[in-house]
Structure 1
Amino acid sequence: MHTLTRQEEEQLLTEFQKRARKHCDPAIKAFADCATGRTVSVIWACRPLQREMNACLKSYGESGELERMKLELLRQKRARAAAASQASTAETRSE
């Protein structure tokens, strides 16, 4: 139980992205508000806001939060496996 399945990794990444968007919501909203109603001019008109949004998302990604989430999930997975193992051992002994 030292690794995550591909499905667990995908769920973890989805949750991480959700947390990152929530953390950076003010910057994302500011960029989205700037971009609303624009076409090509969004490139230069909203560039500072885009950089701010990207910097926020990048700093959240580099914060170690994903690794903390992964370690917590592995800890929970090991605890469930240990509990299941103890339950099956106790069940076998009682027979």
Structure 2
Amino acid sequence: MVPPLTEAETVPRLPLPSRNPLPLSASQEAQVRELYHSRVRSYCAAEIKLFADCALGRTFTAPFKCRTQNRSMNNCMIAHATPAEQDAAREEWFATRLERQREREKREERRKEQEKFHREWWGLPAEDREGEKGREVMRKAERVGGFPRRDDGQLSKDRHR
């Protein structure tokens, strides 16, 4: 059973650079491994669901009471956890490089917008101020001494006791 096409699969894909690409970093290998495991889990979703339903509400008795569901789940996962599936996951990882790059660019753009807003909001140094909020802060005279006292001439709350 092949999982249905997702939104990610409509994004243009780059071809696999070669059958034996350069070694990936540890984090990239972890991403490939996670993709591989999610693909295997998607093939065995029905068996996993049956085992989870059986094990629901049980603790240490789950392996004994749900032995048949556990075996069918494990057999399914072993049947689909093949080197060919690992290669397919690696190819999918390489093919979605463009999508991941776009996501990184969007996150970086969002981070810069938030940083700009932060600088304007908190009235950071003049060279860092931009936009209407920054100009407004520059127009106002700076208050020295903080807020005006509303309780001039009154005893503090602590002195009333």
* TM-score, normalised with respect to structure 1: 0.67
Q: Does 1:50 align with 2:70?
A: yes
Cross-structure match for 2:40: 20
Q: How many residues align?
A: 77
Q: Secondary structure at the match of 1:56?
A: helix
Aligned partners of 2:35 and 2:89 also within 8 Å:
no
Larger Rg computed on CA atoms: 2
Structure number with higher relative contact order (C-alpha < 8 Å, ≥ 6 residues apart):
1
Give ranges in structure 2 of 5+ residues lacking alignment: 1-20, 98-161
State how far apart, in whole Å, the 2-side matches of 1:5 and 1:42 are.
38
Cross-structure match for 1:81: none
RMSD (CA atoms)? 2.3
Identity %, equivalent residues: 31
Instruction: Give the aligned residue type for 1:3.
Output: P
Q: Secondary structure at the match of 2:22?
A: coil
Give ranges in structure 1 of 5+ residues lacking alignment: 78-95
* TM-score, normalised with respect to structure 2: 0.42
1:10 to 30, 46, 51: 30
